[in-house]
Chains A and B, each alone.
Chain A
């Protein structure tokens, strides 16, 4: 098309509207309030999947935890296979093994600590990814991309929602990879069902939604990625250890149990253990799901409401 043709085209599309009198739309614009949501989400995802190094690096930490922590803390071996006996009492090996198994089942809900931890690691990768959801908005602000986006008719809520969605998708993919790796490393699959896996990932999605929204809110006005890093570093380990991801809650002191009971990570992990390992749970599945859904809904709504007020230059 030549420039002249382009011009003709334009004149047809733009028409000759007077700015003062005719307020009709000068260009073809979708009326959907959600336009741009997928474009924004896809932009975030593209940056991620087009850069496999980042994906790989983000997987290393939980894999290391899984491999080192999960395999090293071989609680099961403490009690089984003649690991110990009491002098003077000739307890048969079978009895000790049986006792050990009972003990493990009682404490962890499964006889295998590695499987127990593997489920915890699924929540771990979710919150670690979600915590960085705020970073991208800080970068967008610093690079001017946010201003550019805000000068377009995209809904402010869509900007926030796209960051949350991309973070959810990213974290779920990473959790899936972790689950596959865990199974390869010897996670107990005897009670795993397709429905169980789907249910687990639904709970992880809710967890990711809620945490992504929380950390995005903290970043709405921020121009400094160091502040974000500091917040993430301050919160990640307490959130992880103050949950049942690494250790069962019922053996923790009362005050810590109280924290574990409000920590959403505990509920996602609880769902995972019940659905993937067939373990006895902290609370009924329905309550776990309701808690997580409320967590996700409340914080994403608050995030969108805050974005109307605070997402400015």
Chain B
């Protein structure tokens, strides 16, 4: 766990999850003893295939499901002993579109406010503020059934924020949205984090999403956390960037020379005039290698830089690519339903 403590950088712990476990019907192990911390102000991502236990974990942390064993605190409150204190301090944006289609956007957000018992004079102000933030002001008096998928997602975001939560849970926030809308939702999420200084906990099975949005990621598979760290740490754990270098001088072994360059971790001569170099900061190392070679009179004929993707990390730790996943049938049907509603 020392890696995480370093990543913490002295920040306060917002959630403490200790050996949390959920077994359904005594046989199906959905979450198999996960332990991790989430720090104040970070965007923490749960990455994993369908059925990995992401939603079950979120359900336990948001007090919807009782864990079979283990403990967790959210904002300092035990999810089992003081669930209502937890509920007051969290916001939840579920996977589904839960807004009432027959009601307007404004009515929906006021309904959420009433569920928290927020007095009207405050909730009106907050609703206006939030609708402005997610740019739904002009559509607030329209029935939700006329909203597009992106608008609905934004409304869900606004509803999840009405109590000004300390921690916002987002379960697959961009599921079923097209690429542009997804990018827009990411932007809203980033803005929320900046403006409200909230801690965000999100699940996703989109690698791009985890990579570009999250401060730290936990890869979860078969109910267990297989790897945890910043996107960069995860990628670096594969050995860093790969620089492929070609030189015109085939006769000499330049391994020694290249190895002496700063940041170079590993050099392999893959062909008489070709080298494969690993470095954690490829973009810095590459020009330094060129300079080093040139200063000794060698000529670089080609150079390329490949950075490890989260996809490769995922492949490394779960043993399969995230794109070949197939959920079970109900899960697939559920997702189709969400997507259909999202695309309308």
Write the residues of chain A forming the contact surface with B, with a CB cutoff of 8 angstroms: 1, 3, 6-7, 9-10, 13-14, 18-21, 23, 25-32, 35-36, 38-40, 43, 46-47, 50-51, 143-145, 147-154, 312-313
Contact = CB atoms under 8 A, between A and B. Distances in A.
Given A28-B119, A29-B116, A145-B100, A313 B64 contact: yes
Given A19-B166, A36-B117, A148 B111 contact: no
A51 B76 CA distance: 45
Contact of A151 (B14, B85, B90, B95): B90
B76 A30 contact: no
Contacts of A39: 111, 114-115
A22 to B, nearest CB: 8
Contact of B98 (A3, A7, A143): A143
Contact of B117 (A7, A18, A23, A32): A32
30 contacts: A6-B133, A6-B195, A10-B195, A10-B196, A14-B164, A18-B12, A19-B13, A19-B14, A19-B76, A23-B85, A26-B89, A26-B164, A26-B166, A27-B165, A30-B118, A30-B119, A35-B114, A36-B117, A43-B103, A46-B102, A147-B94, A150-B64, A151-B62, A151-B90, A151-B92, A152-B87, A152-B115, A153-B87, A153-B115, A153-B117
Contacts of A147: 59, 64, 92, 94, 96, 98
B87 A51 contact: no
Interface in B89-143: 89-90, 92, 94-98, 100, 102-103, 107, 111-112, 114-119, 122, 125, 128-129, 132-133
Contacts of A31: 117
B23 interface: no
B195 A29 contact: no
B116 A148 contact: no
Interface string B55-83: 00001001111100000000111000000
B40 interface: yes
Contacts of B262: none
B174 interface: no
A20 B13 contact: yes
Which of B85, B98, B128 has the most C-beta atoms of chain A within 10 angstroms of its own C-beta? B98
A36 B129 contact: no
Contacts of A29: 88, 116-118, 163
A46 B103 contact: yes
A84 to B, nearest CB: 56
Interface of B: 12-14, 40, 59, 62-66, 75-77, 84-85, 87-90, 92, 94-98, 100, 102-103, 107, 111-112, 114-119, 122, 125, 128-129, 132-133, 159, 163-166, 195-196
Which of A21, A26, A27, A36 has the most C-beta atoms of chain B within 10 angstroms of its own C-beta? A27
Nearest to A152: B115
Given A10-B196, A28-B119, A30-B118, 15 more contacts: A6-B129, A27-B165, A29-B118, A46-B102, A46-B103, A145-B98, A147-B96, A148-B92, A148-B98, A151-B87, A152-B115, A152-B163, A312-B64, A312-B65, A313-B64
A143 B88 CA distance: 23
B76 A47 contact: no
A28 B122 contact: yes
Contacts of B122: 28
B124 to A, nearest CB: 12
A27 B66 contact: no
B65 A313 contact: yes
Contact of B94 (A18, A47, A144): A144
Contacts of A43: 100, 103, 111
Contact of B88 (A21, A25, A144): A25
Contacts of A26: 75, 88-89, 164-166
Contacts of A20: 12-13, 76
Contacts of A144: 94-98
Nearest to B338: A144
A124 B125 CA distance: 45
A23 B77 CA distance: 8
Contacts of B59: 147, 313
Which of B98, B107, B117 has the most C-beta atoms of chain A within 10 angstroms of its own C-beta? B117
A134 B129 CA distance: 36
Contacts of A28: 118-119, 122
A176 B165 CA distance: 44
B91 to A, nearest CB: 8
Contacts of A6: 129, 132-133, 195
Contacts of A50: 102
A200 B66 CA distance: 44
Nearest to A40: B115
Contacts of A21: 76
B86 to A, nearest CB: 9
A1 B130 CA distance: 11
B30 to A, nearest CB: 11
Contacts of A143: 96-98
A147 B87 CA distance: 12
A158 to B, nearest CB: 9
Q: Return the 7 tightest CB-CB contacts between A and B, nearest first.
A: A144-B96, A30-B117, A39-B114, A35-B117, A313-B64, A152-B115, A151-B92
Given A23-B77, A312-B65, A10 B164 contact: yes
B148 to A, nearest CB: 18
